[in-house]
Amino acid sequence: MDLRDRIVTRVARELRDGDYVNLGIGMPTLVANHIPPGVHITLHSENGLLGIGPFPTDDEVDPDLINAGKETVTETPGCSYFSSADSFAMVRGGHIDLTVLGALQVDAEGNLANWMIPGKMVPGMGGAMDLVSGARRVVVAMQHTAKGRSKVVRECTLPLTSSRTIHLLVTELAVIGFPEGRATLLETAPGVDVQEVLAATEAKLVVPSTVPQMSIQETHA
């Protein structure tokens, strides 16, 4: 299992039956490939689609049917189309149960930075500001380091996406929660010990006396 699959498989365990879910562009979209058996969710896209299906095969591609990341998608029976304004009203109204986002930085208090304009690492913030503020739960899926530097930092140096604390961070090394705004090590990845996580993390982590191992075993229906 490669690093991205490890991350999104663990994130998929956060899905609950009946959830309305928004998956951010990039790695978060892969969560849809790892939905646990018996869990039925409805995928939402900011550009106005509720009920996204699997990615299309070559003969199913419809260039007019895309998600917010401009990837071609399929639709599920009973899906709905609507304006972008209505889509964001769903987000801002608190009707999205879970959003999964990528990030450039997450800090020790659970603040998120996933965009910047000056260097154009990412062209813009897209719907992330609304999603982080409006979704009931916010999970970040990202790699723990980039170019040898920790992305789990003491304080974000890039522009904050929202001042609202995220609920959970999943990386290839660990699962980190933010109870009371304090980065807390909840799980380590298979084959990774606590010291390895601490060495790769700039932020100070609260480490409980017992830290279980991340469960990434996939069960197929």
Residue 130 token pair = 């609304």
In the chain, the N- to C-terminal Cα span, in Å, equals 19
Q: What one-character DSSP code corresponds to residue 72?
A: B
77 — phi, psi (to 5°)? -55, 130
Residue from 14, 46, 172, 187 carrying the catalytic annotation: 46
Rounded Cα distance between 168 and 186, Å, is 10
Distance CA 78, CA 109 (A): 40
Q: What is the DSSP string of 92-143?
A: HTT--SEEEE--SEEETT--EE--BSTT-SBS--TTHHHHHHHSSEEEEE--
- Helix, strand, or coil here: 214? coil
Which neighbouring-strand residues pair with 151? none
In the annotation, is 71 catalytic?
Answer: no
What is the distance of C-alpha 6 from the center of its chain?
A: 13
Catalytic residue numbers?
46
